[in-house]
Each structure stands twice: as structure tokens, then as C-alpha cells.
Amino acid sequence: MSHRETIVRGQPAVELSARTGDRLVVALHGGHLLSWQDADGTERLYLSPTALFDGRSAIRGGVPICFPQFNQRGPLPKHGFARNLPWTFAGETAPDAWTLRLTDSDATRAFWPERFGLDLTLSVPRAGVLRIALQVANTGAAPWSFTAALHTYLRVDELADARLLGLQGAPCWDAVRDARATETRDAIGFGEEFDSVYGAPAQPLLLRQPRGDLHIASSPDCPQTVVWNPGPALCARLADMPADGWRHMLCVEAAAIDAPVELAPGAATVLWQQLDARPSSSPTA
């Protein structure tokens, strides 16, 4: 059986089993990927042990879907509404690929009047490789625009030992300091609050840590990469994170946020992120 219904902290979810041995768990609330364990049982995503699972609030960790607004860049609730509503599980739509769906409804039109369809497809093309693809379709008669992100929380054993490579030379807006610059570091380390929006490089990023490397690629329709960690001071103020949670996670997000994406009636686009934990894929760096 490639999938089975389950309950996670009181909320309906689906456990997905790939033939590669990789295992995923996705909550119907928010179409929210909660867990990815590769074939050797290593958990690659961070889920806060104090995350809210009340069927209304956004879940802290995993891969929240930000749509149709990123953060507070507009009039909608922070990060839009897709992460706060129930999605429908459409089943295995291709070998080792499963789709969840959200369409416009009275609940979405209370926030946003547009007609739309979202398909979130989680696929395991090879052992140790996960692709998260969000198809956004305009099903209405008028054009509209949106911003979006795959707000991926990656698990790290100890943040002080982690480095992110591949952003050297990228334009950057440091949201903590409200400063714009070009990234000069070859390897970025972390310790205090970090919140930066980068121009996405053409080549995959590399998250290097003792547990093993992780390559992070995104689609051309995601022209920004957001890197975020709350650091100790902000984390202590987050009710849905333990005080030391910042030490065990790093958000590296595939995003389309600086310029709204325009969709004509009947048009669609796909935003994706691919996580590759295969040891043989790691270059010398």
C-alpha cells in the first residue's frame, strides 16, 4: 500500500510510502508536509514539538504553503490562507507521486475573490530525493496575481555545525537589518536571527552538516530563495517553538515574492523545490 490514512496530534494526515523506502507524512490541514524520512530512516524536515495542531492555526515546521501572499506583503493574513485550510487528498497520481488539492470556496472567497486551483504534488523520483511541486491555476474569467513560497523547515542536528553554500554573488535583502547587498560569503554560518531574501542562483544550494549533505534546487518560477532562522531571542518569544528549537532547524524556501506572478484566465504555473540527500550527489566544497 503506497498510502494510508493516519492521525497526527489529533489531526487527519496521510502516510506515504515510496518504493525507494522513503516515507512521507502530510497533514490535510494546510496540505502540510510534516515529515520526510529517507530510506535509512533519517528525518530531513524539522517539525516543532510544540506546534499547534488545532485545525485552524498554521503548523510550525515541515513545509507550509504560503499562498496567495507571502508574509505581510499585502492585505491578506500573514502568508495567505492556504496553510490554514483543509486540503483534499487526491491519491497517487503517478508512481511514487501523490497529490493534494485546494480550490476556491466560500472559505477562500472570504479572504480573496479569485477562482483558483492548487495542486501540491509530493514525489520521490529516486531514493533520497524529494520533489515538492505546487501547481497554481487560474480557473476564473479574469487575470490575477499572487506571491507564494514553499516555506521548508530543514532539520539540522546543531545549527552551529551547519553551513549553507551556493549563494555567493547573489543579491540579498537582509530583513533583520533592512540592508541590501551582494552576498560575499562562500559558506554561510548561523547563530543569531537570520532573515534574508536572495536572488535564487541557477545552481542548487548545498546544506552541509555532519549528518550529511543536502542539495536544494528550485524551479525557474521561484526567482527568490528565503533563508530564515529565528535565533535564540526571537525563538524564545514563539509560543509554538521550544526555546532551543532554533538550534535544530533552518528554513530554505523556494519563493516567488519580489514581483507578483501574473496568471491569465486558464493559465497555470508550477513552483517546485527538490531536496537531494544522496551521498553520491555531493560535490567537493
Catalytic residues: 151, 253
Candidates 54, 84, 50; CA nearest to 67 is 84
The phi and psi torsions of 254 (rounded to 5 degrees) equal -85, 125
Whether the bond into 95 is cis, omega within 30 of 0: no
Query: Cell for 210?
Result: 555532519
Candidates 126, 152, 131; CA nearest to 32 is 152
Distance CA 231, CA 35 (A): 23
- What does the DSSP 8-state code read for residue 145? E
Query: Cell for 274?
Result: 527538490
User: Do 144 and 138 touch, CB atoms closer than 8 A?
Assistant: yes
Helices (H), the chain: 106-109, 231-235
